[in-house]
């Protein structure tokens, strides 16, 4: 007998981003390879209207249903829903609109392209009329749908990581001179852009998520050889004076990024964040990755931060002073065993491995048509 099908339509397919790999690809692979799940996941970048497939389809899931082409596909599948009986579910992992007067912050490179969210809002407002459910990655994204679009049939499914990409053995050491990585570091600030024909006014550099005295703390510890610091895709402009002491890597797609982290086995993952709506819509993925790696997460802590659940000794206050950062750093070095135990227990007890039953079952339940079970 053929297994019931979940048909996933995603514009992210073929890209290297975590939205596709962590929320769709590795989860689909796990479900398809596990006999206990009575479901097959089919992933495609475009609609499939084959009636043989649709007759066995129990859910059609649309990743990032915020563009016009996706709306047209949703409407077409809605017309056929009474005949085939599948559910229509949306899936989203990032802020896509303006909320409470905020949108993409000016230090994010995407902000350089002027955006009018009017059309996006129109598409989303119409799409939710046809969707039976929305799966989102954070409570803040759920609030966006609830409060801005008056859509309440939402399920929060946080990001998880696959054992197939990360270490499964516990890391049991911490170097005297810690290896420190700030993942996606240059996405958290804006590099200066000199005057040129494409940008006639130029763009001043912005520290962005490196609020307070994060930069001064990093420069001092790099300069004085207290840490081995690694940046991805080049050195941030505000660290150029210590560039000769910084190791750089290419920009990686998700599988190669995970492979690099596993080979490097960093001691500390630093995650500075600014306190804004865009950041609060982000998931705790970097923390879960740290738990998987056996690297201590040292991250920004404020109400609504993605890192509210990191170990208390690792919490960096909003807009921190250099002294506050040094205190957290010292506490980490003195208590790394306790912190790694906390993180290891966290990932194993909260269903944050993609291969865990908790994560897969929650996703399958969110995809299930009314009064049907896909598990």
Mean pLDDT of the region 216-226 = 97
Tokens of 104: 């993409």
The closest alpha carbon to 297, from 267, 253, 254, 258, belongs to: 267
Mean pLDDT check: name the lowest of 180-194, 225-239, 294-308.
180-194
User: What DSSP character marks residue 101?
Assistant: T
The superfamily in CATH containing domain 179-349 is: Glycogen Phosphorylase B; (3.40.50.2000)
Q: Do domains 5-160+354-367 and 179-349 have the same CATH topology?
A: yes
For residue 194, name the pLDDT band (cuts at 50, 70, 90). Answer: confident
Most confident range, picked from 92-96, 147-151, 256-260, 354-358: 147-151
- Residue reference for tokens 């010292």: 330
pLDDT digits (tens, 9 = 90+) for 86-111: 999 999 998 999 999 998 888 877 76
User: What is this structure's pTM?
Assistant: 0.93
pLDDT at site 205: 83
pLDDT at 1 over 50: no
Place 189 in a pLDDT band, splitting at 50, 70 and 90: confident
Residue 369: the pLDDT is 84
Task: Provide the residue ranges of all domains of the chain, joining segments of one domain with +.
Answer: 5-160+354-367, 179-349
Residue whose entry in the numeric block shows the structure tokens 């609020």: 211
Query: Residue 120 and residue 126: Cα distance in Å, rounded?
Result: 10
Q: Under CATH, to which class is 5-160+354-367 assigned?
A: alpha beta
**Per-position b or e across 219-251, b if 16+ CB within 10 A of its CB:** bbbbeeebbbbbbbeebbbbbeebeebbeeeee
Can you tell me the distance from the alpha carbon of 232 to that of 54, in angstroms, rounded to the nearest whole number?
43
């Amino acid at each position: 007998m053929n297994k019931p099908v979940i048909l996933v339509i995603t514009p992210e397919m073929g890209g290297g981003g975590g939205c596709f790999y962590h929320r769709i690809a590795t989860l689909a692979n796990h479900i398809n390879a596990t006999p206990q799940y009575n479901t097959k996941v089919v992933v495609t970048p475009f609609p499939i209207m084959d009636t043989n497939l649709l007759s066995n389809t129990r859910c059609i899931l649309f990743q990032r249903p915020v563009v016009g082409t996706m709306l047209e596909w949703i409407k077409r599948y809605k017309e056929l829903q009474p005949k085939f009986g599948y559910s229509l579910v949306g899936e989203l992992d990032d802020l896509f609109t303006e909320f409470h007067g905020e949108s993409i912050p000016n230090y994010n490179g995407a902000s350089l392209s002027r955006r009018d969210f009017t059309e996006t809002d129109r598409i989303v407002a119409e799409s939710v009329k046809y969707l039976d459910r929305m799966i989102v990655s954070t409570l803040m994204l759920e609030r966006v749908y609830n409060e801005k679009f008056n859509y309440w049939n939402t399920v929060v499914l946080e990001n998880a990581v696959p054992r197939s990409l990360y270490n499964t053995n516990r890391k049991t050491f911490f170097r005297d001179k810690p290896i420190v990585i700030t993942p996606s570091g240059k996405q958290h600030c804006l590099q200066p852009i000199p005057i040129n024909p494409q940008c006639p006014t130029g763009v001043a550099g912005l520290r962005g998520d490196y609020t307070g005295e994060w930069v001064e703390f990093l420069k001092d510890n790099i300069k004085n050889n207290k840490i081995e610091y690694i940046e991805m895709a080049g050195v941030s402009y505000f660290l150029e004076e210590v560039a000769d002491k910084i190791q750089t890597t290419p920009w990686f797609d998700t599988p190669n990024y995970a492979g690099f982290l596993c080979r490097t086995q960093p001691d500390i993952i630093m995650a500075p964040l600014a306190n804004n709506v865009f950041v609060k819509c982000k998931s705790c993925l970097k923390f879960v990755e740290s738990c998987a790696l056996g690297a201590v997460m040292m991250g920004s802590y404020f109400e609504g931060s993605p890192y509210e659940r990191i170990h208390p000794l690792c919490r960096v206050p909003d807009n921190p002073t250099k002294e506050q950062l040094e205190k957290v750093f010292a506490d980490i070095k003195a208590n790394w065993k306790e912190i790694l135990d906390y993180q290891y227990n966290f990932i194993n007890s909260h269903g944050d491995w993609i291969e865990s039953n908790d994560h897969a079952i929650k996703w399958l339940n969110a995809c299930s048509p009314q009064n049907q079970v896909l598990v």
